[in-house]
Amino acid sequence: MKAEIIAVGTELLMGKVVNTNAPFLARELNALGVDHYFETVVGDNPNRIQEVTRLAEQRSDWIIFSGGIGPTQDDLTKQTLAAYLGEELVYDSTYLKRIEAHYQKRHIALTDKGKQMAYTFKRGVTLGNPKGQACGSAIKKKGHTYIFLPGFPHELKAMWRESVVPYLNPSQEEVMTSRYLNFYGIFESALADKLDDLIVHQENPTLAIYSAEGIVTVRLTAKGECLEANAGILEDMTRQILDRLAPYYFGEGYGLTPVKALLDDLMAKHQTLSFAESLTGGMAGERIVNYSGASRAFQGSLVAYTAEAKQRVIGVEAKTIESVGMVSEQCALEMAEKTRQRYQSDLTISFTGVAGPDEMEGHPAGTVFCGFAFKDRPTHIESYHLSGDRQTIRQRCLFQACFDVWKMRSQKSSQ
């Protein structure tokens, strides 16, 4: 079985948008054990879309399209392939009602262009979109399977997991189950080296490794007669992997980050969190409220960037700033403790340091101090020496701090 990816969108060709969907789909195909040799990017032009499709048919069994299924004038992927294949498009009634309700709620008139998001192939199947309005679709014809997905990455990823994989594996005799193991503080290459023998001899389950934002994820995919059989296969492989990589592990689940892992742990224990932010400049609060239900644990964040603000807003002592500076363990400690007292939270994390590119107070870029103030134990300070540009250092600081405090909490719980 061979698969090919065709990304549709003039914005991709012009470099205005980076095509992150292709790497994701490539990793997913690899995890399914499907060969994948070609990827194409094509603009929103019917003739050229048909041309690359004709070429893809000569070398691939599955042809996966991303993009061009939305509500605008140039969203023509389904229509173009319907004409090419001689197949009829119809409205999926469930999605049409969903789109109508969405537009009505926002007091926007629904046009025919908006309705086209509900298009599906009459002789195909609708692929559900749990994150957006436009439904996907798939159709099999003349030995090929054509799959149509949205261009928005968060929609495409959710649709792939929940709709496409079950469609591609419909056999009642064999069930496919995936598990995602997440690691932080180790490079992808180093992790792969530790699992080299498992990767070389993989059969069932299959292993796929990929990384993003410094997080390395191992996807395990098992095939068996039932979910229970797959669970046993996955559990055995999980134990083998964690025996080698436990210090870097922070949880199971698709798209999990150290921030989400910490949030989940706090919510499960009915505990609260607050942040004292200097280096991160509000990033910590922004990242955590992106998760649904964050208000069950997250109370708030104090952002104080200057020395004056740290004293006036958070309550850092003037003598601390004068004697050891803002980039110091003592400043991180006071930021964490003063903020925890103000919010009366179970945990407060503080962030202070040098994002760069220049030195500050004699410290090079990447020097970071984080304070962990707890309700039930002494405040703990961690210092980091991080690399990268300003944005990367700030993000790594947040992830590393959340990872470290999650590990501390999990170790305490196990004692």
Strand partners, 42: 8
**Of 255, 176, 188, nearest in space to 222 by CA:** 176
Q: What is the pLDDT of residue 9?
A: 96
Q: Can you read off the two tokens belonging to residue 325?
A: 């500076």
CATH of domain 175-252: 3.30.70.2860
Would you say the CATH fold of 258-411 matches that of 175-252? no
Contacts of 23 (CB under 8 A, 6+ apart): 210
Per-residue pLDDT of 375-403, as tens digits, reads 999 999 999 999 999 999 999 999 999 99
User: How distant, in Å, are the alpha carbons of 66, 164, 336, 354 from that of 146?
Assistant: 11, 11, 54, 50
Alpha carbons 284 and 281: distance in angstroms, whole number? 8
Q: Can you read off the two tokens belonging to residue 224?
A: 């068996």
Q: Are 414 and 387 spatial neighbours (Cβ–Cβ below 8 Å)?
A: no
Q: Which residues of 309-346 are buried (b: 16+ CB within 10 A; e: fewer)?
A: ebbebbbbeeebbeeebbbbebbbbbbbbbbbebbebb
β 367-374/347-353 pair status: antiparallel
Mean pLDDT of the chain: 94
User: How distant, in Å, are the alpha carbons of 257, 366, 392 from that of 389?
Assistant: 20, 9, 5
**Residue type at 219?**
R
Q: Are 146 and 127 spatial neighbours (Cβ–Cβ below 8 Å)?
A: no
Alpha carbons 50 and 85: distance in angstroms, whole number? 10
**Of 218, 286, 275, nearest in space to 30 by CA:** 218
The CA R_g of the chain, rounded to the nearest whole Å, is 25
SS3 string, the chain, reads CEEEEEEECHHHHCCCCCCCHHHHHHHHHHHCCCEEEEEEEECCCHHHHHHHHHHHHCCCCEEEEECCCCCCCCCCHHHHHHHHHCCCEEECHHHHHHHHHHHHHCCCCCCHHHHHHHEEECCCEEECCCCCCCCEEEEEECCEEEEEECCCHHHHHHHHHHHHHHHHCCCCCCEEEEEEEEEECCCHHHHHHHCHHHHHCCCCCEEEEEEECCEEEEEEEEEECCHHHHHHHHHHHHHHHHHHHHHHEEEECCCCCHHHHHHHHHHHCCCCEEEEECCCCCHHHHHHHCCCCHHHCEEEEEECCCHHHHHHHHCCCHHHHHHCCCCCHHHHHHHHHHHHHHHCCCEEEEEEECCCCCCECCECCCEEEEEEEECCCCCEEEEEECCCCHHHHHHHHHHHHHHHHHHHHHHHHHC
Alpha carbons 204 and 233: distance in angstroms, whole number? 8
Find how far residue 34's CA is from the centre of its chain. Answer: 23
Sketch the domain layout of the chain as residue ranges: 2-168, 175-252, 258-411
pTM over 0.85: no
Please tell me whether the peptide bond between 205 and the residue prior to it is cis, using omega within 30 degrees of 0. Answer: yes
Which residues in the chain show pLDDT less than 70? 170-174, 414-415
CATH of domain 2-168: 3.40.980.10
Give residue for tokens 């400690």: 333
Burial class (CB in 10 A: 0-12, 13-18, 19+), 391: exposed
Tell me if the domain spanning 258-411 has CATH number 3.90.950.20.
yes
